[in-house]
Amino acid sequence: MRVGIPRALLYYYYYPMWKVFFEELGAEAVISSQSTKGILAQGLKHAVDEVCLPVKLSFGHVLDLAGKVDYIFLPRIVSVEHRKYICPKFLGLPDMIRRLEGLPPLLDVEVDMYRKNWDLYQAIKETGSFFTNSRLKIWMAYHRSVQALHRYCRLLQLGLMPAEALAVLENKVKNEPLPYPADLNVAVIGHPYNIYDPYISMDLIRRLRAMGANVFTAEHIPEKILKSNASRLPKKLFWTLGQRMIGAAFHYLERPDVSGVVHVAAFACGPDSMTGELIERHARARRVPYLNLTLDEHTGEAGVVTRLEAFLDMVRWKKAGAVGI
């Protein structure tokens, strides 16, 4: 049996776990192709105009899997930790996708850990029961998949980007020349599905590296530090990803070795409009260079590159002691 996993949204967090889980149960995990103009165009055609860019892209990835797989794994991810949600669009995603024509059946189990962590196992059991009747097999698959996820998270915390960490996990590391030595560190703060997708982020991370900047992201920081930084807010945020971004931003804004922060938001993203505002006010108060990039389907590559160059110039001048920055 072939299970399709769209290369979109929380793929960047959970793919190693999902892959191991399905393979342990004897299914083949198939991911959709890399994001391209064609995939995005499909998404734009089928999604309503008002949804954000990453959700439109996920429509495209789901359609890319149609005809190639027996099932599409599209869990309804309501909540992945206590008293926090992802975002309303994740709550309604399977309902929005189900309307599309010509799709294989969806595995749209509900992942809801809002009340207690153990509710996750309900979703695991439900997904597993599509493939086997053996409870033990499901339990073992779950166990191994969590181990894989932990390995992946450890690699990320070593400073690898998701694509690099996946290459390590799958023994596909290429022998590439070491990058040009970087002379400064920049933090990139944004939803994982925006900053790690090379197509919609205009290859932001690689470009920054090529311009001589080391890139840090929220995934490089252990959960504990993220949480303790985020807890400085007057009220706990109720979005998991928003809390991670706030925690990472507060952490990097205080690190003397990080010279600037790039905030990446999708156009009209609800949580970003709130967390971005808090981060920007914080950065201004601490006088740290801050760049806000808003992505949508009309974003042009040249515009992004120009802004990145200008930003890095500003960061370097500030480091050199220029007055008035």
Which residues would be at the binding site for other proteins (CB under 8 A)?
Answer: 47-48, 50-51, 76, 78, 83-89, 91-92, 94-96, 99, 110, 233-235, 237-239, 265, 267-274, 276-278, 281
* CB of 265 or CB of 312, closer to other proteins: 265
The structure tokens 């960061």 sit at 315
* CB of 78 or CB of 182, closer to other proteins: 78
Tell me how far, at minimum, the Cβ of 40 lies from other proteins, in Å.
Answer: 17
* CB of 195 or CB of 312, closer to other proteins: 195
* CB of 33 or CB of 231, closer to other proteins: 231
Q: What are phi and psi of 154, to 5 degrees?
A: -65, -40
Q: How far apart are the first and last CA of the chain?
A: 58
Residues recorded for the chain? 325
Q: Pick from 17, 9, 4, 7: which is nearest to 152 by CA? A: 17
Q: Residue 53 and residue 35: Cα distance in Å, rounded?
A: 12
Q: Residue 157 and residue 192: Cα distance in Å, rounded?
A: 14
Element (H, E) at 302: helix 301-319
Q: Pick from 210, 191, 186: which is nearest to 305 by CA? A: 210
Tell me how far, at minimum, the Cβ of 248 lies from other proteins, in Å.
Answer: 18
* CB of 165 or CB of 261, closer to other proteins: 261
Q: Residue 98 and residue 103: Cα distance in Å, rounded?
A: 8
Tell me how far, at minimum, the Cβ of 21 lies from other proteins, in Å.
Answer: 23
* CB of 152 or CB of 250, closer to other proteins: 250
The neighbour count for residue 86, using CB atoms within 10 Å, is 23
Tell me how far, at minimum, the Cβ of 58 lies from other proteins, in Å.
Answer: 12
| 3-state secondary structure (DSSP) of residue 308 | helix
* CB of 35 or CB of 243, closer to other proteins: 243
Tell me how far, at minimum, the Cβ of 199 lies from other proteins, in Å.
Answer: 22
Q: Residue 262 and residue 215: Cα distance in Å, rounded?
A: 10
Tell me how far, at minimum, the Cβ of 292 lies from other proteins, in Å.
Answer: 10
Tell me how far, at minimum, the Cβ of 212 lies from other proteins, in Å.
Answer: 31
* CA–CA distances in Å: residue 70 to residues 67, 133, 154, 263: 8, 19, 32, 38
